Chains A and B, each alone.
Chain A
Amino acid sequence: NAGVTQTPKFQVLKTGQSMTLQCAQDMNHEYMSWYRQDPGMGLRLIHYSVGAGITDQGEVPNGYNVSRSTTEDFPLRLLSAAPSQTSVYFCASSPATLGYEQYFGPGTRLTVT
């Protein structure tokens, strides 16, 4: 199993540009989520999904869209990038069984100039 994969690893955007961060998992996990981590801080939840076709907002959803058309993929779209979205983005997945661990991807480092 590849686990949770994220692409790209690094990205530089100009203010106002849009892009999609990709996340995929091959463990047939129902639950997937996106977090952002700013320097010296813990992770903050952006959006999450408990299954295909179902998404919900986390703590900091503004400026981001998600969709979940398949169990495997959970892309994060930045609609109009802003410097405040400069961060490291992590995708995670877990089984729907409560109490189970979450598996995190390696992260995407995004810089918005």
Chain B
Amino acid sequence: DAKTTQPNSMESNEEEPVHLPCNHSTISGTDYIHWYRQLPSQGPEYVIHGLTSNVNNRMASLAIAEDRKSSTLILHRATLRDAAVYYCILRDGGSNYKLTFGKGTLLTVNP
């Protein structure tokens, strides 16, 4: 599986935008970029995914570099409830349903 690299931790202030980076220099043409987050003592929760184009949904935006070797998850206005571990995952769009989790980025949101 192609690997991703994320910072171990980031901090933000409440109601400010947050940009969470992810590097995936060995991404293949069929890999989808998925983001999940895990709130304390809960199971992971899907945030967003994309293939080539930028994506928006009610939770976040995903900006994908033109060469697809990096991406950024954007939380437009962080709330205390957004404090979680955020995982950037490459998922093979061929026949592979598996998710390979790294250690993710621990996001702390300050009031």
Contacts and interface: CB of A to CB of B under 8 A. Distances in A.
Given A42-B102, A42-B104, A94 B44 contact: no
Contacts of A50: 97
A33 interface: yes
Nearest to B102: A42
Contacts of A43: 44, 99, 101
A44 B101 contact: yes
Using C-beta atoms within 8 Å of the partner chain, give the interface range for chain A. Answer: 20 to 34
Interface in A69-85: none
A44 B99 CA distance: 9
B43 A105 contact: yes
B68 interface: no
A99 B104 CA distance: 20
B51 A45 contact: no
Given A42-B87, A50-B97, A99-B32, A107 B102 contact: no
Nearest to B48: A101
Nearest to B51: A99
Given A99-B93, A106-B42, A45 B49 contact: no
B4 to A, nearest CB: 11
Contact of B44 (A31, A45, A104): A104
B42 A107 contact: yes
Contacts of A4: 43
Interface of B: 32, 34, 36, 41-46, 49, 51, 87, 91, 93-95, 97-104
Interface of A: 4, 31, 33, 35, 40-45, 48, 50, 58-59, 90, 92, 94, 96, 98-99, 101-107
Report the 9 A-B pairs with minimum CB-CB distance, sorted nearest first: A104-B43, A42-B101, A101-B46, A43-B101, A31-B97, A104-B44, A90-B43, A99-B32, A42-B102
